[in-house]
Chains A and B, each alone.
Chain A
Amino acid sequence: MTTKIDARGLSCPQPVLMTLDGIQAGSSGEIEVLVDTETAKENVSRAAASQGWEVVDVAEDGDGYRITIRKG
């Protein structure tokens, strides 16, 4: 099952905090994060990588991005 996190409209560092919370919750091996700025996209990808998670997909989604990360 994929955990979904909606961080659209939230400013720094909320998208990263939410992603890390999701990773620490550890209930699933895959998380989808929705963000709406380039900065949040970069920060979430960087944070996931720092936790040993892999960014498997970054897709455009409406005005923002859907980032899929998976436990490495």
Chain B
Amino acid sequence: MKLRNVFATRWGIIGVGLVIGILAALLQKWGNPGNMGICVACFERDIAGALGLHRAGVVQYIRLEIIGFVLGSLIAAYLFKEFRPRLGSAPIVRFVLGAFAMIGALVFLGCPWRAALRLAGGDGNAILGILGLISGIWIGTLFLKNGYNLGRAQTTHTAAGWMMPLMMLGLLALLIIFPQIEGQGKNGVLFYSLKGPGAMHAPLLISLGAGLAVGFLAQRSRFCTMGAIRDFVLFRQTHLLSGVIALIVAAFITNLTLGQFHPGFEGQPVAHTMHIWNFAGMALAGLAFALAGGCPGRQLFLSGEGDGDAAVFVLGMIVGAGFAHNFGLASSPAGVGPYGIPAVIIGMVVCLFIGFTMRKRSTQ
């Protein structure tokens, strides 16, 4: 703290947004799926598939970017003495919020990060998703203004703060022990996609390196896509928002340069054109992220710096991805899944229930 954190300044967060935007577009160039250089929800869903928590054959892969996000944040937190093991702020509620955030995101087909990248790639459907996201976060701010609060976390054992980083190291170990074999859908305990987005990925070390870099920078700058919108709605603060706008601008310019910018609504990669459900899916995700205090990326970075409640949210998202594909809730390029619409409605009801019932009074 004697040393000023440059990443937490206005230019710091803008710089981080620019780096993430460029890296994301490059990751797509290097092999990740279209407009999916980085997508926290999609990549956690792919991890759920690789572990067999769902059996959607086209989305199974241990995404090293996610592992990198957590470990990069862990490294930054230790280097700058910010690793603070803590937990106990309504973990079960955070799990439920994580699960429904994932379900909402998979109805839209992307988290806020991918919504930004889809926009930067010319996908007009992202506009509906982003409007939904803003609406969901706006509802969340109404709850916050009325005293919504999940209560205090407590300091805990260092080892407890290490749980999510250790799980990520475990996933890395599995990937090394059971690597992808050309033409095979399974090696040992891990499932792999032979086609579809799960079969598209940048080289391992590049994915891991990019993930580590983003995790490190995002921990330092507190980059958060949900917080960007929330802080603007709640306080008219544009600090985090300037980072997200920088990300979109950088990804847009990089996409243009690389020939990855294709404007339109139809035929966009891993996207559908059901406007209402693009909007509603992201509204659900936005509300869940707002109630949990962070976008899916931020939850990974927080779990890297020892926040056990954020780690529980991440596990909720991974389990939610299992439900989303096993129950036919997730969308596909053909449109929403058979049970996607009722799932969004149930998710909204659950989030509203959480928002209305968990006020300051009940925690004191």
Residue positions of A touching B, CB distance < 8 A: 8-14, 16-17, 20, 36-39, 41-43, 46-47, 50, 58, 60, 63
For residue A11, which residues in chain B have a CB less than 8 angstroms away from its CB? 89, 150, 153, 293-294, 307, 309
Is there contact, CB below 8 Å, between B294 and A12? yes
13 contacting pairs across A/B (C-beta < 8 A): A9-B154, A10-B149, A11-B307, A11-B309, A12-B227, A12-B293, A12-B294, A17-B145, A36-B84, A37-B84, A38-B80, A41-B1, A47-B237
For residue A36, which residues in chain B have a CB less than 8 angstroms away from its CB? 84, 86, 155
For residue B89, which residues in chain A have a CB less than 8 angstroms away from its CB? 9-11
Chain B residue nearest in CB terms to A62? B155
Is there contact, CB below 8 Å, between B239 and A46? yes
Q: Which of B86, B153, B224, B237 contacts A50 (CB 8 A)?
A: B237
Chain B residue nearest in CB terms to A37? B84
Chain A residue nearest in CB terms to B310? A11
Given known A11-B293, A14-B149, A39-B222, contact A47–B227 (CB-CB < 8 A): no
Is there contact, CB below 8 Å, between A42 and B222? yes
Q: Which of A42, A47, A63 contacts B235 (CB 8 A)?
A: A47
CA A42 to CA B4, docked complex, whole Å: 10
Query: With contacts A12-B227, A37-B84, A47-B237 known, what are 16 further pairs, Cβ within 8 A?
Result: A9-B86, A9-B153, A10-B89, A10-B152, A11-B89, A11-B150, A12-B293, A13-B231, A13-B235, A13-B293, A36-B84, A36-B86, A37-B82, A38-B82, A63-B84, A63-B155
